[in-house]
């Protein structure tokens, strides 16, 4: 299956912890400062508890911090706020406004979508998204609300079916990431794994090696 | 363009099927519908918005979406209504372009004047009376606040908060161009009739 990859789409996606207390983005900015110039990253702001005004302020703060880093910044769910803050893109949930409709006003901004089944992966790919995040592949506390782990076989089936890049999410570790890549994943995404800024530098170094091979 | 004064705007509640009441309220003569649903998914909001926009076109009514500029653009709604905790008005205006309607909630004269400066088409001023629909910790502004904003600002005022059959006329007499209601309709045994009665009161006041 040929993969239509937008130019320079990173292969590592960091999802924010959802625990930014006041919208200042302290935790996200701390993560950004630890990124490696040699490892491009997608950073998805996913702070569901914040209202639109707070998300807008947070987006501006994160964008400013990211200016000198090797990262593309996406906002979960809200294409309008992502546009207003001139972020790099929007990441849609499986239950978000249809991607094709978002495309109609978002222009060339990067548009990704979470999917939890082969059926919705195919539908999303047809609607013109730039990439998909599929999961949960392995077990993880933050993704249990999206059902039981689906395993690397299901990931492989999706990667072989759709022609957009697929990121694996859910319980990703340096140990199981190679299996995801072997199944055809374009990259990996994680939330909890990257929240500890003490272990983050070493993890990023490990993932850089894994993703380069 | 917002409807000609005096008009009735119905704001949807958290009902699992808000389209039903919108259909009835339009039959009853409401000329503006605001989709406001804080717990629905983006996809659900989009589907409701499409349906409500179609219904509103059929009834020559205006359809706006609360908070979600993205949903309004996706469904090609007539506009949006933004609270003080939503996307800043100036940013929203850039996304919406000059033609879409943008309403802004205001609870002070200062907020109303800023909304006008930021390109709002109307302000939703409230809460005017005691209300049960939204948790409010501040005191009601009273209809005299409408007169005060009317005197200082050129922007049309939609009165909101605790408006019902008994006090609707006072808001129009104080200078409001329209009223926005949730509970007065959604909790009425017959929403269509409740809307019809409010519209009739507004028209007699004129």
User: Domain containing A141 — which CATH number?
Assistant: 3.20.20.70
Predicted ipTM of the assembly: 0.95
The domain in which residue A177 lies consists of: 12-212
Task: Dump pLDDT digits (tens) for A110-166.
Answer: 999 999 999 999 999 999 999 999 999 998 877 677 778 999 999 999 999 999 999
Instruction: Enter the DSSP assignment of B116.
Output: H
Specify whether B134 is catalytic: yes
The domains of chain B are located at 7-205
A95 and B CB contact within 8 Å: yes
Minimal CA separation from B71 to chain A, in Å: 7
Q: Closest by alpha carbon to B184, among B172, B196, B175? A: B196
Pairwise pLDDT comparison (A213 vs B83), residue with the higher score: B83
* Coil vs helix vs strand at B137: coil
Does residue A4 lie within any of the structural domains? no
Chain B residues 21-60 within an 8 A CB cutoff of chain A: 41-46
Contacts of A95 in chain B (CB under 8 A): 41-44
Minimal CA separation from A129 to chain B, in Å: 15
pTM (two decimals): 0.95
CA distance from start to end of chain A: 20
Look at A97 and B43 and tell me if their CB atoms are within 8 Å.
yes
Query: Residues with Cβ < 8 Å from B122, sequence gap 6 or more?
Result: B2, B101, B103, B104, B155, B156, B157, B158, B177, B178
Q: Which one of B35, B37, B73, B105 makes the best mutation probe of the A interface by having the most chain A beta carbons within 10 Å?
A: B73
State which H helix or E strand residue B66 sits in. Answer: strand B62-66
Look at A80 and B86 and tell me if their CB atoms are within 8 Å.
no
Q: Work out the mean pLDDT of chain B and round it to a whole number.
A: 95
Task: Find where tokens 């004047």 sit.
Answer: B113
Helices B42-58 and B18-27: angle between axes, nearest 10 degrees? 10
Look at B85 and A101 and tell me if their CB atoms are within 8 Å.
no
Token pair in block for residue A52: 């639109």
Overall number of domains in chain A: 1
Does residue B61 have a cis peptide bond before it, meaning omega lies within 30 degrees of 0?
no
Does residue A2 lie within any of the structural domains? no
Instruction: Enter the DSSP assignment of B9.
Output: E
CATH code for the domain defined by B7-205: 3.20.20.70
Does residue A18 lie within any of the structural domains? yes
Contacts of B45 in chain A (CB under 8 A): 97
State which H helix or E strand residue A166 sits in. Answer: strand A166-169
In this predicted structure, the answer to whether residue A178 has a pLDDT above a threshold of 50 is: yes
Choice among B21, B23, B24, B105 that is catalytic: B105
Task: Dump pLDDT digits (tens) for B72-97.
Answer: 999 999 999 999 999 999 999 999 99
Task: Dump pLDDT digits (tens) for B7-39.
Answer: 999 999 999 999 999 999 999 999 999 999 999
Task: Dump pLDDT digits (tens) for A3-41.
Answer: 556 668 999 999 998 888 778 899 999 999 999 999 999
Q: What is the pLDDT of residue A1?
A: 40
């Amino acid at each position: 299956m040929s993969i239509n990859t937008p130019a320079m789409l990173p292969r590592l996606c960091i999802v924010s912890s959802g625990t930014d207390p006041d919208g200042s983005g302290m935790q996200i900015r701390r993560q950004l400062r630890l990124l490696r110039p040699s490892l491009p990253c997608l950073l998805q702001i996913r702070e569901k508890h914040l209202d639109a005004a707070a998300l807008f302020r947070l987006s501006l703060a994160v964008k400013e911090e990211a200016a000198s880093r090797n990262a593309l910044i996406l906002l979960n769910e809200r294409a309008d706020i992502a546009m207003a803050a001139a972020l790099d893109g929007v990441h849609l949930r499986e239950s978000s406004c249809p991607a094709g409709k978002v495309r109609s006003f978002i222009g060339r901004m990067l548009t990704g979508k979470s999917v939890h089944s082969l059926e919705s992966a195919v539908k999303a790919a047809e609607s013109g998204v730039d990439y998909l995040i599929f999961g949960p592949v392995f077990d993880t506390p933050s993704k249990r609300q999206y059902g039981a782990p689906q395993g690397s076989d299901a990931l492989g089936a999706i990667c072989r079916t759709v022609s957009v890049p697929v990121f694996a999410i859910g319980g990703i570790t340096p140990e199981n990431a190679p299996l995801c890549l072997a199944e055809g994943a374009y990259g990996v995404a994680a939330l909890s794994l990257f929240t500890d800024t003490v272990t983050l530098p070493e993890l990023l170094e490990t993932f850089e090696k894994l993703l380069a091979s | 363009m917002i409807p000609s004064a005096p008009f009735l705007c119905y704001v949807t509640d958290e009902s699992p099927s808000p389209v039903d009441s919108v259909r009835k309220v339009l039959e009853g003569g409401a000329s503006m519908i605001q989709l406001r649903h804080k717990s629905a998914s983006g996809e659900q909001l989009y589907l409701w918005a499409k349906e409500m926009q179609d219904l509103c076109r059929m009834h020559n009514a205006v359809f706006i979406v609360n908070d979600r500029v993205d949903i309004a653009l996706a469904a090609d709604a007539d506009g949006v209504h933004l609270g003080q905790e939503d996307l800043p008005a100036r940013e929203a205006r850039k996304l919406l372009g000059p033609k879409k309607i943008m309403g802004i909630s205001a609870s002070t004269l200062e907020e109303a004047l800023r909304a006008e400066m930021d390109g709002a088409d109307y302000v939703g001023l409230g809460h005017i009376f005691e209300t049960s629909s939204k948790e409010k910790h501040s005191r009601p502004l009273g209809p005299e606040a409408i007169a005060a904003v009317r005197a200082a600002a050129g922007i049309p005022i939609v009165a909101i908060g605790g408006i019902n059959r008994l006090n609707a006329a006072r808001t129009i007499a104080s200078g409001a161009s329209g009223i926005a209601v949730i509970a007065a309709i959604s909790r009425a045994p017959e929403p269509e009739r409740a809307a019809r009665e409010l519209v009739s009161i507004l028209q007699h006041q004129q």
